[in-house]
Amino acid sequence: MIFNSIRWRLQAWHGLILVVVLTGFGFTAYQVARDNQLRRIDQDLDQRLMALLRPQPPDRPPDRPRDWQPDRPDQRPEPPLNEPRNERRFGSSDFLRRVREAVQQGGLLDSSQTNIFYYVLWQQDGSILARSPGAPADVPAPEHAMPPRPQAFPARDALGRPGPSEPGPPMLPVARTRGQIREVFRVMPQGESILAGRSMAPDLAAMRRLALWLMAAGTAVLLLGLAGGWWVATRAIRPIEDISATAVKIAGGDLSQRINAADTDSELGRLAGVLNSTFARLEAAFAQQARFTSDASHELRTPVSVILTQTQTALSRERTSPEYRETLEACQRAARRMRTLTESLLELARLDAGQEPMKRECFDLPRVARECVEMVRPLAAERGIQIHCEVPPLECLGDAGRIGQVVTNLLTNAIHFNRDQGEVRLSARAEDGAVLLAVADTGQGIPAEDVPHLFERFYRADKSRSRIQGRNGLGLAICKAIVDAHSGSIEVSSRPGVGSTFTVRLPLK
């Protein structure tokens, strides 16, 4: 299922996060813009209210609307201090009259959108005292028009500003929204309330445009983000896909494939390195297995071809008795060779499978050594080779028969690969809780490149002599398997032209 792939899952999470972040951002931006706009409207309305309420000499022209800047209090419209004090008092009949007139004129501040502003002035009892021409008829009186609360305003200081005994400035502005209309009102100390209002229709339209713009921009950013995410995910996943493609090829049987691990320091590079070394080991194991099978089949096929060819030739016409005899002898040789080979292979297989339990008993090493030497002495005598047995009295732990087999095998090899009139030396000593058994010859030695492969199955260092001597290339492999089963080790050291020494180490525990 493609949607279960890491890339798709990454993309889904990425998309989800993007949507959440963008929605949050857009919503906040919209809210901030809306609040700002409302505050601006409220300030504008309140400024217009204050312009109405500010005592002004009749001959002065109305103030131009100025932006109210709270951070610059020096620009705050402040009534001039040199005016008569009663003129500045809120609630005086003169003041109220002037405000009423101003309301009826439609406000003092002009604007390009004068028609959208309206003003309403109420008496203490909620009855309308005045209204501007554009005011809707159904403007409700401020319900929470509060009774005068002079104590709510701080006392003025010694400079003669209004104190608690005097009616203070109008109460703080209160804003409300009715449908698409925004209204700000103030309650004067004597209980009259005055309201400025305007329609928010153009502002709401602007907000809708902003919302649409935010949505469009958000969608664009989302798409861009998804595309970018897809690109990043593709880049990040490419090495994984390389690995998986290589693994597929390897699973398909091509073990020579390797992952291209160019960036070995990254996490995936390290993984690729580990996998590559695993593949290499796997390939080596397979190659060894294939070589073994190939070698085994080769070794088995050769005697079979001898038998087939010999018998077919013999049967192709009438033969004399000595000819038949010759054929039968050749067949017998071939059959014997196959017997040895199959026995060796079976023995190796049993050793590999651990089906050949090794006895663990103390035995007399010198006796076993002597028996082995006696067994191979006729073979050595044929070529005038001297065998020296230098085994001190030692107790050894293990399977006497199996150890004897190893020693015999090593001795036979030492004789085979020796020169005529050469020497074979079998020695033993105890060392570090183990018995070391050494078989040294005076042969040609083993080429250094062959030494690491010597214990491999069917490996033959000297390919020219092996077949003639009827050895199948499994002897040392069997030796190694037996020694391994004893938790021991077998090693070889060789000096070209001087001879080779095989050393078997058998632990005594």
* Interacting residue ranges for other proteins, rule: CB under 8 A: 290, 294, 297-299, 301-302, 304-310, 312-314, 316-317, 327, 330, 333-334, 463-468
Element (H, E) at 390: strand 386-390
User: What distance in Å separates the CA atoms of residue 319 and residue 330, rounded to the nearest whole number?
Assistant: 15
Q: By C-beta, is 159 or 468 nearer to other proteins?
A: 468
Q: By C-beta, is 211 or 307 nearer to other proteins?
A: 307
480 Cβ contact partners less than 8 Å away, ≥ 6 residues apart: 455, 490
Amino acid letter, 24 = G
Nearest distance in Å: CB 478, other proteins: 22
Nearest distance in Å: CB 13, other proteins: 49
193-199 and 434-441: which strand pairing? unpaired
Nearest distance in Å: CB 468, other proteins: 8
SS3 for 174-213 is EEEEECCEEEEEEECCCCCEEEEEEECHHHHHHHHHHHHH
Number of helices and strands in the chain (H, E): 10, 12
User: What distance in Å separates the CA atoms of residue 168 and residue 190, rounded to the nearest whole number?
Assistant: 10
Element (H, E) at 93: helix 93-105
User: What distance in Å separates the CA atoms of residue 248 and residue 279, rounded to the nearest whole number?
Assistant: 12
Q: By C-beta, is 138 or 449 nearer to other proteins?
A: 449
Nearest distance in Å: CB 396, other proteins: 38
Nearest distance in Å: CB 307, other proteins: 8
Residue indicated by tokens 């078989």: 439
Q: By C-beta, is 192 or 299 nearer to other proteins?
A: 299
Q: By C-beta, is 38 or 314 nearer to other proteins?
A: 314
Nearest distance in Å: CB 330, other proteins: 4
Q: What is the DSSP letter of 115?
A: G
Amino acid letter, 266 = S
If 0-12 CB within 10 Å is exposed, 13-18 middle and 19+ buried, where does residue 441 land? buried
Nearest distance in Å: CB 385, other proteins: 22
Q: By C-beta, is 88 or 467 nearer to other proteins?
A: 467
Nearest distance in Å: CB 450, other proteins: 15
Nearest distance in Å: CB 311, other proteins: 9
Nearest distance in Å: CB 409, other proteins: 22
Q: By C-beta, is 327 or 412 nearer to other proteins?
A: 327
Nearest distance in Å: CB 467, other proteins: 6
Q: By C-beta, is 319 or 370 nearer to other proteins?
A: 319
CA distances from residue 241 to 234, 244, 257, 276 in whole angstroms, order as listed = 9, 5, 14, 15
In three-state secondary structure terms, 356 is coil
Q: By C-beta, is 34 or 291 nearer to other proteins?
A: 291
| DSSP states along 229-284 | HHHHHHHHHHHHHHHHHHHHHHHTT-TT-------TTSHHHHHHHHHHHHHHHHHH
Identify whether the C-beta of residue 439 lies closer than 8 Å to the C-beta of residue 403: no
User: What distance in Å separates the CA atoms of residue 35 and residue 29, rounded to the nearest whole number?
Assistant: 10
Q: By C-beta, is 36 or 305 nearer to other proteins?
A: 305
Q: By C-beta, is 234 or 313 nearer to other proteins?
A: 313
291 Cβ contact partners less than 8 Å away, ≥ 6 residues apart: 458
Nearest distance in Å: CB 296, other proteins: 10
Q: By C-beta, is 82 or 316 nearer to other proteins?
A: 316
409: how many CB neighbours lie within 10 A of its CB? Answer: 20
58: how many CB neighbours lie within 10 A of its CB? Answer: 6
Identify whether the C-beta of residue 460 lies closer than 8 Å to the C-beta of residue 506: no
List 197's β-bridge partners, or say none: 118, 183
Q: By C-beta, is 142 or 303 nearer to other proteins?
A: 303
